Amino acid sequence: MSDDQGWKDVGFHGSDIKTPNLDRLAQTGARLEQYYAHPMCTPSRAALLTGRYPHRYGLQTAVIPSAGTYGLATDEWLLPLALKEVGYKTAIVGKWHLGHSDRQYWPLQRGFDYQYGPILGEIDYFTHSAHGQVDWYRNNDLVNEEGYVTTLLGQDAVKLIEAHDPNTPLFLYLAFTAPHAPYQAPEEYLDQYQSILDPNRRAYAAMITAMDDQIGQVLDALDRQGMRENTLVVFQSDNGGPRSAKVTGEVDTSGGTIPADNGPFRDGKGSLYEGGTRVVALASWTGHIEPGSMVNQPMHIVDWYPTLAGLAGAASDPSKPLDGINIWSALTGGQIPYRDEVVYGIEPFRAAIRQGDWKLVWQVMLPSRVELFNLAQDPGEETNLADQHRGIVARLKRKVEALYQDAKFPLFIEEAVGAAKSVLFTSVATPEASEAIDNQP
């Protein structure tokens, strides 16, 4: 998984950014051209590991901030737990961002046998720090080491594969932080893009190529271990590339433009439009997925849980019904499973849903706005057809409201409101404030 990568920012989508290993995976597998995630990091990562929409457990809004005390609900039965029950070794190498304040939320407590990398969101690629503190762990222990984050993650994944018994099944979740801000890369990669004058775009391109190199190293390790022919490789970004500095994180990106390119799609990270949610994705498995194929049916990040569990013979928790569907037959050119909707996000103040070619974007917070797009005719979401198709709008609104009935209130908002109340009442309770109130006429 990449982090904040634009839809167009791979070679096989026509970019000038060098991604030879991802291009090779696309040539040997299937490009997933209508693949959806959620518009931000935490919701997407939660959806991947639960197979359930994040509004069901309160992670649908924003990301877990550095001061956040909440995390992914501990009663959710995560994919690594399901796979462990059928004999898999499980490992996460890379970014977590599903809870950091309490170790009950950390990867080793959620079904992973091995963990390496940052627990928070963004990270400095050379100091390994986030918000002034080192955020670099191996199996819950803080690690102080030198190196470029992307390279270290790739090298650790390679070591893990080389030490693994090929006769034991392995689930490896390799979650790169690249190309999330801060936009930093080693000189050897920056030198490959001297023709790019904008410093942010140059570093961003270099970061993607550095990540691609490490993906190549991982694929080579699978080949050396004789594991490649029995390995399904999936690649995707966690959300669309950012188009606003408001969603690049807490670092300063003012040195250049916001560099991601989402191609023909509107807007980017944080948005419910296609640019924030339709992400670059592929799947490759020699002998199973037709080389060079292209899958144009809608797929969603929640679909990987039932698909991978189905391949492994693992079971989900019946008390937590999955929202995903098994898409294996679609990946292998067989019968296309029926997905009647794509849920982009269900929040108290906004929502978006797609049924067939029709997509509703509903902004409830003032100024309110209702938009309806036909994605087959208008993938760039330029023409609002809500007034011409009021019946479709009404039907999709009813579906959104039905989904919201099962929603948990966003933990991000709940905690933010609680913090604001605490600050307010603390301020009012000071002697100076009390005296000022007493002296009011």
Residue with tokens 């775009």: 201
Query: 34-50 in b/e burial notation, b at 16+ Cβ within 10 A?
Result: bbbbbbbbbbbbbbbbb
Q: Which of 226, 229, 245, 122 is nearest to 176 (CA)?
A: 122
Out of 13, 55, 97, 128, which one is annotated catalytic? 97
Whole-Å CA distances, 36 to 68, 185, 392, 404:
26, 28, 22, 20
Query: Is 100 among the catalytic positions?
Result: no
Q: Cα separation of 260 and 201, whole Å? A: 8
In the sheet that holds 281-284, the strands lie side by side as: 233-236, 281-284, 30-32, 293-295
For residue 60, CA distances in Å to 178, 402, 412 come to 23, 16, 9
Q: Determine which one of 13, 38, 41, 180 is catalytic.
A: 41
**Beta strand pairing call for 89-94 and 170-175:** parallel
Asked if 140 and 115 touch (Cβ cutoff 8 Å), the reply is yes
41 is catalytic: yes
Please, are residues 216 and 156 in contact by the beta-carbon 8 Å criterion?
no
Joined tokens for residue 415: 């905690």
CA distance 79 to 49: 5
CB 341 within 8 A of CB 302: no
Question: Which of 243, 344, 173, 326 lies closest to 5 in space, CA to CA?
Answer: 243
Which residues are part of the catalytic machinery?
A: 41, 97
